[in-house]
Structure 1
Amino acid sequence: MNKPIRTVGVFCMLLFIALLAQSTNLQFFRSGELNDRPENRRVQEARFSAERGSILAGDTEIALSVPVDDRYLYQRQYPVAAPYAHMTGWFYFGGASGLERSQNRVLSGDDPSLFVNQLSDLLANRNPAGSNVGLTIDPDVQQVAYDQLAAQGDDVQGAVVALEPSTGRILASVSLPTFDPNQLALRDVNQVQENYQALYDDEANPLTNRAVATTLPPGSTFKLVTAAAYLEDHPDVDANTQVPGGSSYQLPGTRTSIANGGRSCGETTVSLTQAMEQSCNTTFLQLAVEEGQEGMTEVADAFGFNADPAEDYPGTAASAYPDNASDDLLAKSGIGQQDVRATPLQMAMVAATIANDGVLMEPYLIDRVTSPDGETITRHEPEERAEVVSSRTAGILQELMVNTVEQGTARQARIDGVEVGGKTGTAENCDGCRPYAWFVSYGERDGQQVAVAVMLQNVSPNVSISGGGLGGPIAKAVMEQALGVGE
């Protein structure tokens, strides 16, 4: 073969190799990226026309695809819209949000874990159908949490989260105000955009999932974390030990004093039980300073602050505990103020850890994935995240929380025949802002447990702000439903 022909042959072979490499790159390595591009209308139309899997809470379908007589074949619907909107999100021609987005490959049937089902559909010449996503949510507990929160008034802004302490299962997650995802899943894209803009412009922020994405100062509910840090470093301390108290406390290095709002907190000392029952600011300001930055940060981080709270729950925000604070700011962090920020999910994790003898289980929302015919493909197994405190410390904290319900500021959560521990809280986020009401609790009955956090962000000016008065009855109703009280 002469040189010119050989050169042309080598050149053609190189072109063929380059073409093969580019084809492999496009069809294999970049296929997911290209399919997900918003301008890829062909893929969008195919997805919108496919039978998408359902999202279920128990046996209740909270998102499903129903057949329709038009070019797209299926319409996404949300039958129980308001209580679940922030979890499910919505699915429409231009995109998706919430679980509809994070679980899109499962719901659409494209996830690699569904390979066997995909192969079966191919061999049987069936149109592929998406798999179903089953949540950990108990629909009865979710509905009670929603109803109780909504009963606070039309303008209520708040959230409720309930966890199963021994597993980390999220039993309820409610945020108000809410919205109707059906109005964001319409065929008319222009109408969807108009509906979305109206929600986006709403000053009440109905699109925000306050249960997992809103971080606010947790106020006195954070005193549980301060007490945990102190107890871990002082094995000789128990519920009856005298700790610093007093009617007021001057922040280190300042002329600012913080008082207890008229509560009985001793002249100079007070028992730890009474300090928690009466929610004595002076006690926990001083304990935080005595414990120091390192000790407070270590325990706060172990409870889940400064970390992603739940990997499978879309849109969650990390709660924050500040580092490198001066002593005056460190003191204020001990009562859940200053730069401490927490979501209701985070504070439910605190209560759940205490109820679970000091062990924090990984919170999770997705329980299982099932095929279109109901066969289980994957199921989540509970995972231990951390041993936050010793069982001894947890036992003392349980005693403190129960006493706070029986004799202290959390009486509104008492349930006959149930061990209930609780902690109230109010907090401010800015000068002149109305306080936020917090309530965290756990209940135990016949070996079954539930932990509940309630946050009320916007309350009528005509209502007295208190964590116990506002959050206590809500938490009580949720615990009664979760524990089967009265059944």
Structure 2
Amino acid sequence: MNPPIRRLAVVAAILFCSLLISSTSIMFFQAKALGDRSDNRRSVLASYDRERGQILLGGTPIARSVATDDELRWERTYPSGRLYSHVTGYYSFTYGAGGGIEGAEDELLSGRSDKLFYRRISDLVSGRQPAGASVELTIRPEVQQAAEKALGDQRGAVVALDPRTGAILAMVSHPTYDPAALSSHRFSAVTDAWKSLNADRSKPLVNRSIGGDLYPPGSVFKLVTTAAALSSGQYDVTSRIPAPAQLKLPLSSVPLTNWQNGSCTGSDQITLQKALETSCNSAFGGIGIQLGGDALADQAAKFGFGDELRVPMRVTPSKVPTGMDKAQSAQAAIGQYDVRVTPLQVAMVSAAIANKGVVMRPHLIASVRGDNLSVLDETKPEQLSKAVTSEVADQVAQMMRGVVEDGTGSNARIPGVEVGGKTGTAQQGNDKAPHAWFTAIAPLTASADQPQVAVAVVVEDGGSAGRETGGNKVAAPIAKEVMEAVIRK
């Protein structure tokens, strides 16, 4: 063979091998990723050939597919769509699955999940029409409805947890939206709805309870500071703490003031118990200086701050900065400076206090069910961390009871039920009205086996009260309604 022909043969062999390797790579390694692409029209059309699994509450669907007579054989519908929009998310031919369970568990609902491999084999052998799995949620409808109604037309979020298991009992974010507007087969209307939702400055597609722009927690963070103080061994409930009308901060010309615009109790000293009941900034600022910022950050981390969580939607990690100086530590101790949280994280703090110091992993899915609603998988409660000892947790819980009975949280009182809580009024700066916070646990009566609910409420920009807002005025009544819905079942 002469040299030119030999070279041509080598080039042809290389091209043939490249083609073989490329096609093999696409078929065996890239096929799933290419099939899952939202712009793969063939895959999207194929997904509408089978019935998508339902999203259920107590066996009742809050998202289901109904048969149609158009090219797309199934259309997603959402009974009570606005009530559960941030829980369900949306399933759209144009924009895919996203925003909630629809996006986080798309493979299960569509039937593509590897967890359903044996069921797919069974369907193939038996000749049954394949369908997606359904998911049963932990949300309790009466609790969700109470949270929705109590929050009203105010922007903000409400989260309720079962402290014993981490089950999410309510998850409400306002403003809300109608997922059906994105799942319709009237594609021009879907496009208009998508553009409108994304152009809305109030961000209705954002689930404020677990993500978006995180909130300064204000004084609800004093629960973390209290836990750090008691755990350090330097303080107990009756410790007397300096509580000046203004706390001079190191390296700063701006003092830390109290919301009372003076002394918290008419004295320059206060017990730790009374400091929490009156939400005394100067006392907690002094604790922050004494303990140091790293101690606050370490305690917050034990409650779950910084953890990458999925419920199954991704939760934006809450954060406490490290390397703070003394002035910054004082501000962080009262939930200001650069401390940022989700409402879920605040509920997790209260839940851990209610659960003898144990943080349970929050979850939204109770079980996965087949097309005949047989149980394929169940979520088992899982411990995430140990935040404080049971002794410290009990002390903080009783201090929280004092906040409701004798302190700033009076609007959370429930007749015949002992409630523990903490108010918060979080300054934003930029001349904006503060956010109103309240977090609570109930019941705390000696006869109760354990508190049944932990709740966190945030109302943005003061809610209906504007600049006259406060955690007790705006957020505590909402928390009360949610707790009553759990306890008065």
TM-score normalised per structure 1: 0.92
Alignment of 1:479 onto 2:474: no
User: Which has the higher mean CA deviation after the structures are superposed, 339-348 or 181-190?
Assistant: 181-190
**Residue 22 (structure 1) shift:** 4.8
State the SS of the aligned residue for 2:484: helix
**Residue 259 (structure 1) shift:** 2.2
Q: CA 1:387/1:462 → structure 2, altered by over 3 Å: closer, same or farther? A: closer
1:183-206: CA deviations, max 9, x gaps? 011113332121111111112111
Matches of 1:225 and 1:269, distance apart in 2: 21
Matched residue, 2:112: 110
State the SS of the aligned residue for 1:460: helix
Matches of 1:292 and 1:122, distance apart in 2: 63
User: Which has the higher mean CA deviation after the structures are superposed, 21-30 or 58-67?
Assistant: 21-30
1:289–1:330 Cα contact (<8 Å) kept: yes
Question: Equivalent residues in 2 for 1:157-306 (5 A)?
Answer: 157-213=155-211, 214-234=213-233, 237-262=235-260, 264-265=264-265, 267-306=267-306
**Residue 114 (structure 1) shift:** 0.4
**Residue 31 (structure 1) shift:** 2.0
2:243–2:264 Cα contact (<8 Å) kept: no
1:101-147: CA deviations, max 9, x gaps? 22111001110110111001111222210000111111111111111
1:247–1:265 Cα contact (<8 Å) kept: no
* Unaligned segments of structure 2, at least 5 residues: 1-6
**Residue 350 (structure 1) shift:** 0.7
1:13-59: CA deviations, max 9, x gaps? 99998776555433332221010123321111111232100011222
1:287-328: CA deviations, max 9, x gaps? 0110012211110111111222x3133242111111112211
Matched residue, 2:438: 439
State the SS of the aligned residue for 1:339: coil
Matched residue, 2:393: 394
Which residue among 442, 464, 471 is the counterpart of 1:460? 464
Matches of 2:134 and 2:259, distance apart in 1: 52
State the SS of the aligned residue for 1:165: coil
The one-letter amino acid paired with 2:113 is D
Alignment of 1:451 onto 2:450: no
Matched residue, 1:96: 97
Q: Please, what is the CA RMSD of the aligned residues? A: 2.4
The one-letter amino acid paired with 1:48 is Y
1:442-463: CA deviations, max 9, x gaps? 0026325100000000423567
Alignment of 1:82 onto 2:86: no
1:405–1:420 Cα contact (<8 Å) kept: yes
User: Which has the higher mean CA deviation after the structures are superposed, 113-122 or 22-31?
Assistant: 22-31
Q: Figure out how many residues of one structure are paired with residues of the other and give that number.
A: 477
1:157-179: CA deviations, max 9, x gaps? 01100001111111100001100
Matches of 1:337 and 1:168, distance apart in 2: 27
State the SS of the aligned residue for 1:386: strand
The one-letter amino acid paired with 1:96 is A
The one-letter amino acid paired with 2:365 is I
Matches of 1:482 and 1:27, distance apart in 2: 52
User: Which has the higher mean CA deviation after the structures are superposed, 431-440 or 209-218?
Assistant: 209-218
Matched residue, 1:357: 356
1:248–1:282 Cα contact (<8 Å) kept: yes
Which residue among 121, 129, 132 is the counterpart of 2:131? 129
2:65–2:75 Cα contact (<8 Å) kept: yes
* Unaligned segments of structure 1, at least 5 residues: 1-6
1:246–1:265 Cα contact (<8 Å) kept: no
State the SS of the aligned residue for 2:292: helix
